């Protein structure tokens, strides 16, 4: 078999599709060729997933369900077409009738450019109004001095002003006057702008991207509590320099349950107890964290020591209201030297990207997550 | 048979349990292990660095020597090596994530082994399964059929018959292309990069 043919056998490894001869050829080739070996080693991740028989069956069942073909998808796309066409026709009809039944003055205004039409319309109506001894409509449509921040007029309002002037209705024209834009200034759009999609993230944002970090940074500047979660004092009781999460305001109901984090220290009798408030830890002392999540989801814990970056030390499922001890047995690695050790606990209803968390560069909680931070200060005895 | 169970690694130095042979047909378990070591070091060095790669290869070979002394064929040893290598690499990554390089006591060393399933590994596995399912469901037509048949345990020859392909090579090619599509849907790697 050629090398290319051997490479094609790779696809059979993870699923156990290979015959004995194919297996032999593939593995012997892997021993000779580093590239094939590497590809097979990477394939092991896939084989591990497929080795679960129930998962295999589940996937096969999902694949057995026919995905709609191109024809069906096109048909589905065209199905609402007659309705859309009918709606469009009705829309055109309504617009047509509206335009045709408008008074002639409106038509004049519609035809003219705002810049030129207004004086012309005023001129036409001005003589009429003057002959009646009224105020010259020309004053009503003078270019208003726009104050900064003043709302711009819509095209309809401008037309209204022009129409009023043409009809010789100075009061109406005067009312509309203030809304007439300065020369050459473009009219504002009639509809409000849609929010930028790239600034919106639906649901619990699982990624820790720039936008999210910016959101967190913004939230921290505002008063309140991030995620709506008020970390209990218990969360920091164990540390003499406990630091509550920076305040922030984010949309989460105030009545939501709280994330509870407690520091427990190992006593001489090998039992753990909650560290009392103001307790100073000694280097080498064994501690663990007790976490009670407010919602079911995923628990992530990161550690920061000696000014280093955040390092993920735990991730896993968590149930609401059920205490979780970290670690499950024994204590956290003891801090051998005096110093500060911080733990950041995040509970998210959605799984967070482990690769980003493990990189340690972006262990920042998102808006949709509950979190708390614990600071433990280790001091040498007698200090 | 008693001597057959004796770890052969004991006869060689710890750094190099077996000597790599030259190219060509590999004869004997030691020759296969030697070649495996080379490949494991090459693979691990490209993923986690040269220094750790040597240790990792050594650990894999020790497991092969102590737990599978009866296995000698390349086609049996290689898949075993892949499995052990994967566990070792995952453990290495977790260990590194859990503790700093400057910390002497690892979390694993402090607490006794927990017989319960590792929640971290479980969560990770769940995440990977979901990722794969989402990608595989996006496949269409022939690719869905090929993957379904493979997952049902059919061999390439059976797949050829079922799909009416002209030759076995045609099935290999279809499968290769479908895998490329799936890989692209997964962002170029079977598992999220760490």
- ipTM, two decimals, is 0.72
Is the domain of A282 the same as that of A366?
yes
Mean pLDDT to the nearest integer, A17-26: 88
**A335/A242 same-domain check:** yes
Q: Which of A64, A88, A115 is the last residue of a domain?
A: A64
Q: How far apart are CA A228 and CA A365, in angstroms?
A: 12
Regarding whether A362 and A254 lie in a shared domain, the answer is yes
Query: Quick check: A313 and A291 in contact, CB under 8 A?
Result: no
pLDDT at A306: 73
Q: Which residue of A has its CA nearest to B37?
A: A31
Nearest to A262 by CA among A175, A161, A355, A372: A372
Q: Given pLDDT bands bounded at 50, 70 and 90, which one contains residue B108?
A: low
* Predicted pLDDT at A134: 37
Q: Do A358 and B23 touch (CB under 8 A)?
A: no
pLDDT at A355 over 50: yes
Same domain, A217 and A358: yes
Backbone angles phi, psi at A179, to 5 degrees: -90, -5
Q: Residue B185: is its pLDDT beyond 80? A: yes
Which residue ranges make up each domain of chain B?
Answer: 3-110, 119-185
- Closest-CA distance of chain A to residue B140, Å: 7
Q: Are residues A159 and A242 in the same domain?
A: no
Residue numbers in A near B157 (CB within 8 A): 19
Q: Which of A231, A230, A206, A214 is nearest to A368 (CA)?
A: A206
Q: Which domain holds residue A147?
A: 102-177
At which of A14, A36, A64 does a domain end? A64
CATH number, domain B119-185 = 1.10.10
In percent, the amount of chain B with pLDDT more than 90 equals: 14
Whole-number Å distance between alpha carbons of A214 and A362: 12
B95 CB within 8 Å of a chain A CB? no
Distance from CA of A162 to the nearest CA of B (A): 58
- Token look-up 């990792």 returns B56
Is the Cβ pair A27, B93 closer than 8 Å?
no
- For residues A27 and B75, the answer to whether their CB atoms sit within 8 Å is yes
Q: Which of B32, B150, B194 comes nearest A358 by C-beta? A: B194
* Residue A143, pLDDT above cutoff 60: no
Question: Which of A16, A45, A11, A47 lies closest to B153, judged by CA?
Answer: A16
Q: What are phi and psi of A312, to 5 degrees?
A: -70, 125
The mean pLDDT of chain A is: 65
Q: Is residue A229 a part of any domain in this protein?
A: yes
Query: Inter-chain contact A305–B103, Cβ cutoff 8 Å?
Result: yes
Which pairs with CB-CB distance under 8 Å and at least 24 residues apart come from B162-166? none
Q: Which residue has the higher pLDDT, A70 or B23?
A: A70
* Cross-chain CB nearest to A315 (options B78, B120, B173): B120
Tally of CB atoms within 10 A around A349: 16
Q: Do B111 and A329 touch (CB under 8 A)?
A: yes
- CA-nearest residue to A284 within chain B is B105
Contacting residues of A for B114, CB less than 8 Å apart: 328-329
For residues A8-24, give the mean pLDDT: 88
Q: What is the least distance, in Å, from the CA of B28 to any CA of chain A?
A: 13
The answer to whether the CB atoms of B78 and A31 lie below 8 A apart is yes
Question: Is residue A75 in a domain?
Answer: no
Is residue A194 assigned to a domain?
no
String of DSSP letters for A311-369: EEEEEEEE-BT-EEEESSSS-PPP--SSEEEEEEEEEESS---HHHHHHSS-----TT-
Helix extents (H) in chain B? 29-48, 50-67, 74-98, 107-110, 119-136, 141-151, 156-163, 168-185
**Structure tokens given for B158:** 């059976």
First to last CA, chain B: 44
CA-closest candidate to residue A286, choices B177, B61, B151, B109: B109
Q: Which of residues 162-191 of B touch A (CB under 8 A)?
A: 169, 172-173, 175-176, 178-179, 189-191
Alpha carbon distance B30, B19 (integer Å): 7
Q: In this structure, are A167 and A214 located in the same domain?
A: no
- Which of B48, B151, B162, B186 should be substituted to probe chain A, the one whose Cβ sees the most A Cβ atoms within 10 Å? B151
**pLDDT at residue B159 above 90?**
yes
Answer whether A352's CB lies under 8 Å from A298's CB.
Answer: yes
Cβ atoms of A141 and A162 closer than 8 Å: yes
| Cβ–Cβ below 8 Å for B144 and A63 | yes
- Residues from chain B that touch A333, judged by Cβ atoms under 8 A, are 99, 103, 105-107, 110
Note whether A353 contacts B36, CB cutoff 8 Å. no
CB-based contact (8 Å) between B68 and chain A? no
Size of the A and B interface in Cβ pairs below 8 Å: 197
Smallest CA–CA separation between B31 and chain A, in Å? 10
pLDDT band at B160 (very low <50, low <70, confident <90, very high): very high
- Pick the last residue of a domain from A39, A64, A89: A64
Tokens representing B19? 């000597």
Write down the pLDDT at residue B147: 92
pLDDT of A348 reads 84
Q: Is A333's CB within 8 Å of B78's CB?
A: no
Asked if B178's CB is within 8 angstroms of A11's CB, the reply is yes
* Residue that wins the pLDDT comparison between A223 and B39: B39
Q: How far are the Cα atoms of A63, A198, A296, A308, B83 from residue B34, in angstroms, in the given order?
A: 41, 53, 49, 40, 17
Contact B39 A34 (CB under 8 A): yes
Q: What is the pLDDT of residue A131?
A: 38
- Please return the burial class of A280, using the count of CB atoms within 10 Å of its CB with bins 0-12, 13-18 and 19+: middle
Q: Is A373 a residue whose pLDDT tops 50?
A: yes
- Closest-CA distance, A295 to chain B, in angstroms, reads 17
Higher pLDDT, A214 or A23: A23
* Residues of chain B found within 8 Å of residue A12, distances taken between Cβ atoms: 150, 156, 175
Is pLDDT at A178 greater than 50 in this prediction? no
Could A331 and B83 be called an inter-chain contact, meaning their C-beta atoms sit closer than 8 Å? no
**A337 and A278 inside one domain:** yes
Residue partners of A353: CB distance under 8 A and separation at least 6: A206, A207, A208, B192
Among A85-99, A106-120, A323-337, B127-141, which stretch is predicted with the lowest mean pLDDT?
Answer: A106-120
> Per-residue b/e over A62-88, b at no fewer than 16 CB within 10 Å?
bbeeeeeeeeeeeeeeeeeeeeeeeee
Provide the pLDDT for residue B149. 93
The answer to whether the Cβ–Cβ distance between B26 and A10 falls below 8 Å is no
In a domain, A191, yes or no: no
Within a domain: A197: no
The average pLDDT across A165-189 equals 43
Per the CB < 8 Å rule, is A23 touching B179?
A: no
Q: What is the pLDDT of residues A239-265, one digit of tens each?
A: 333 334 444 444 444 444 788 898 998
Q: Which two tokens stand for residue B9?
A: 């690694």
Token pair for residue B171? 């099935």
Contact at CB, B132 and A49, closer than 8 angstroms: yes
In this prediction, residue A144 has a pLDDT band, given cuts at 50, 70 and 90, of very low
How would you label A111-126 residue by residue, b for 16+ Cβ within 10 Å and e otherwise?
Answer: ebebeebbebbbebbb
Mean pLDDT over B102-129 rounds to 66
A266 CB-near residues (< 8 Å, 6+ apart): A272, A285, A286, A287, A288, A331
Percent above pLDDT 90 for chain A: 2
Per-residue pLDDT for A160 more than 80?
A: no
CA distance A287 to A341: 11
What does the pLDDT read at residue B137?
A: 87
B93 shares contact with chain A (CB less than 8 Å): yes
Give the mean pLDDT of A136-149: 38
Asked whether residue A51 is domain-assigned, the answer is: yes
pLDDT band of B26, cuts 50, 70, 90: low
Total domains in chain A come to 3
CB atoms within 10 A of CB B189: 11
Distance in Å, alpha carbon of A73 to nearest chain B alpha carbon = 13
Cα B70 off chain centre by:
20
Whether A314 and A231 map to the same domain: the answer is: yes
For A35, the closest chain B residue by CA position comes to B43
């Amino acid at each position: 078999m050629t090398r290319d043919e051997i490479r094609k056998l790779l696809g059979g490894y993870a699923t156990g599709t290979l015959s004995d001869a194919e297996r032999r050829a593939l593995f012997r080739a892997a021993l000779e060729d580093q590239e094939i070996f590497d590809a097979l080693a990477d394939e092991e991740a896939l084989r591990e997933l497929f080795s679960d028989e129930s998962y295999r069956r589940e996937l096969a069942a999902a694949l057995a369900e026919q995905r709609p073909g191109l024809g069906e998808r096109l048909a589905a796309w065209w199905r609402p077409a007659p309705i859309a066409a009918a709606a469009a026709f009705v829309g055109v009809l309504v617009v047509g009738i509206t335009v045709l039944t408008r008074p002639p003055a409106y038509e004049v205004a519609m035809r003219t450019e705002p810049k030129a039409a207004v004086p012309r319309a005023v001129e036409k109506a001005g003589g009429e109004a003057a002959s009646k001894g009224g105020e010259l409509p020309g004053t009503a449509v003078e270019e208003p001095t726009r104050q900064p921040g003043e709302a711009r007029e819509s095209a309809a309002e401008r037309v209204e002003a022009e129409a009023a002037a043409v009809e010789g209705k100075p009061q109406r024209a005067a009312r509309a006057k203030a809304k007439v834009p300065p020369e050459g200034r473009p009219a504002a759009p009639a509809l409000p702008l849609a929010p930028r999609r790239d600034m919106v993230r639906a649901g619990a944002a699982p990624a820790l991207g720039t936008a999210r970090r910016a959101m967190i940074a913004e939230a921290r500047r505002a008063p309140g509590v991030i995620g709506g979660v008020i970390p209990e004092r218990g969360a920091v009781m164990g540390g003499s320099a406990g630091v509550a999460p920076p305040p922030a305001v984010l949309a989460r109901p105030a009545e939501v349950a709280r994330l509870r984090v407690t520091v427990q220290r190992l006593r001489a009798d090998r039992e753990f107890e909650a560290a009392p408030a103001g307790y100073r830890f000694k280097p080498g002392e064994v501690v663990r964290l007790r976490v009670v999540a407010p919602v079911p989801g995923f628990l992530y814990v990161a550690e920061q020591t000696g000014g280093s970056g955040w390092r993920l030390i735990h991730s896993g499922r968590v149930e609401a209201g059920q205490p979780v001890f970290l670690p499950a047995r024994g204590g956290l690695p003891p801090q051998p030297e005096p110093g500060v050790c911080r733990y950041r606990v995040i509970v998210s209803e959605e799984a967070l990207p482990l690769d980003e968390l493990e990189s340690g560069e972006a262990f920042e909680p998102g808006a949709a997550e509950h979190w708390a931070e614990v600071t433990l200060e280790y001091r040498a005895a007698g200090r | 048979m008693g001597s057959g169970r004796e770890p052969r690694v004991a006869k060689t130095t710890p750094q190099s349990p077996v000597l790599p042979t030259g190219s060509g047909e590999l004869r004997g378990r030691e020759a296969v292990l030697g070649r495996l070591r080379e490949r494991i070091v090459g693979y691990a060095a490209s993923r986690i660095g040269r220094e750790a790669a040597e240790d990792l290869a050594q650990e894999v070979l020790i497991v092969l020597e102590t737990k599978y002394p009866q296995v000698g064929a390349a086609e049996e040893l290689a898949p075993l090596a892949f499995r052990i290598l994967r566990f070792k690499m995952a453990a290495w990554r977790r260990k590194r994530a859990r503790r700093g390089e400057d910390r002497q006591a690892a979390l694993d060393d402090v607490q006794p082994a927990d017989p319960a399933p590792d929640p971290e590994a479980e969560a990770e596995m769940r995440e990977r399964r979901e990722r794969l399912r989402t990608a595989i469901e996006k496949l269409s037509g022939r690719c869905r059929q090929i993957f379904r048949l493979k997952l049902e345990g059919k061999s390439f020859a059976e797949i050829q018959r079922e799909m009416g392909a002209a030759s076995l090579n045609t099935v290999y090619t279809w499968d290769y292309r479908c895998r490329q599509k799936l890989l692209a849907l997964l962002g170029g790697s079977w598992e999220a990069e760490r």
